[in-house]
Chains A and B, each alone.
Chain A
């Protein structure tokens, strides 16, 4: 049996009818067509489904949709503002940190959470953070460069 829940995603309120078993990931992609959030392993290993829940990076495949009620959900669709890319996204492009792009939404969102909590991360802090998201293309080197660049830009502004 479905029940109505209200989700706040990227500052907008959505009413969705869901079964109890539906994960936040499924509701984002299938009901709301917010397909920037990727699905890959669907068991918490790869990190590609990462979203921010009240600013905290989590695997949306391991969160029941009903557990996101009353929280601010941020997906990759909410990162660029008014058509302008976020500085983190610009750094990923500038440093060549995007190849196939599959892990990029998760990498950008985890970077946002990391820098909000720790504006001046060490390389080890960055590695600990990106270890939660599988990238099969880049070997992570340029992603780490992009995160360092984003941290530096954040400090300037």
Chain B
């Protein structure tokens, strides 16, 4: 790893000022499970590292029935996995946490870092997209709120401006009576990114789909909501046929590539089947 200047600010504002001052030369360090790997391999060669771990108040995860779930920038995957109300109210996020990295990596890695790293195959984005999460973005002079879907600019590329940090993630309370889940297909159970991942959130009333959210991972440059497939199902009676049709539409909305994990063709087939199962299992 190349040597760098290390700053350890104790406030978010100070951190943002340092990041703004050093621009492209600087990287923010949270859990380090992506950043340090990239720096060792030489893909990333920052002159300046701004370590966020001395900043108070970023390690909190809290749930309220009114406001939903709030997750600070330094909250680890282990904290998410062990939070009883995440398992109860946000099962897709709990499932994504359970299959994230490994025991040791979950103790270091953060959800916020996972989102900012912006891998199309990451565990964090897909469940958060179906819960319609939003991000609090802190800049050197001001704050803004961003829908999660606006955070992903391309593979390994986030939409933050120089000097901006993702400081907190909010998940509203899921609609009453809805069911949700996360399906990840990967070569192994541990230490593996998704070949294809699907998140689904479904609310059925009087046997009809009243609300459907589908999110897809590793089948395009960024994780995304399959809005066309969702529309196929809306207000329709729940049947195998309609779920199969929606799965086909989701496949048609996707744009997977061939890489070391799978060919594009294999991913399309996998996506269609996983989307069907994600819908079916929400009805079970």
Contact = CB atoms under 8 A, between A and B. Distances in A.
B176 interface: no
A113 B3 CA distance: 32
B104 A59 contact: yes
28 contacts: A20-B3, A21-B1, A43-B40, A44-B37, A44-B101, A44-B104, A47-B102, A47-B103, A56-B107, A58-B108, A59-B33, A59-B108, A62-B32, A62-B36, A63-B108, A64-B29, A67-B32, A67-B53, A128-B103, A131-B102, A131-B103, A132-B101, A132-B102, A132-B103, A132-B105, A132-B190, A132-B191, A133-B102
Interface in B95-125: 98, 101-105, 107-108
A8 interface: no
Q: What band does the interface of chain A fall in when counting residues whose beta carbon is under 8 Å from B?
A: 20 to 34
Contacts of A56: 78, 107
Nearest to A110: B103
B158 interface: no
B18 to A, nearest CB: 14
B284 interface: no
B51 interface: yes
Interface of A: 19-21, 23, 42-45, 47, 50, 56-59, 61-64, 66-67, 110, 114, 128-133
Contacts, number: 83
B103 A42 contact: no
B51 A64 contact: yes
Interface string B44-66: 00000101010000000000000
Of B3, B33, B104, B108, the most chain A CB neighbours within 10 A belong to: B104
Q: What band does the interface of chain B fall in when counting residues whose beta carbon is under 8 Å from A?
A: 20 to 34
Q: Is the interface of B mostly helix, strand, loop or mixed?
A: mixed
Contacts of B5: 20
A129 B3 contact: no
Contact of B191 (A20, A45, A128, A129): A45
B257 to A, nearest CB: 23
Contacts of A57: 103-104, 107
Nearest to B5: A20
Contact of B4 (A21, A61, A128): A21
A103 to B, nearest CB: 12
B107 A64 contact: no
A43 B214 CA distance: 33
A88 B78 CA distance: 24
B3 A50 contact: no
A63 B109 CA distance: 11
Contacts of B78: 56
Nearest to B103: A132
A50 B33 CA distance: 14
A131 B53 contact: no
Nearest to A125: B103
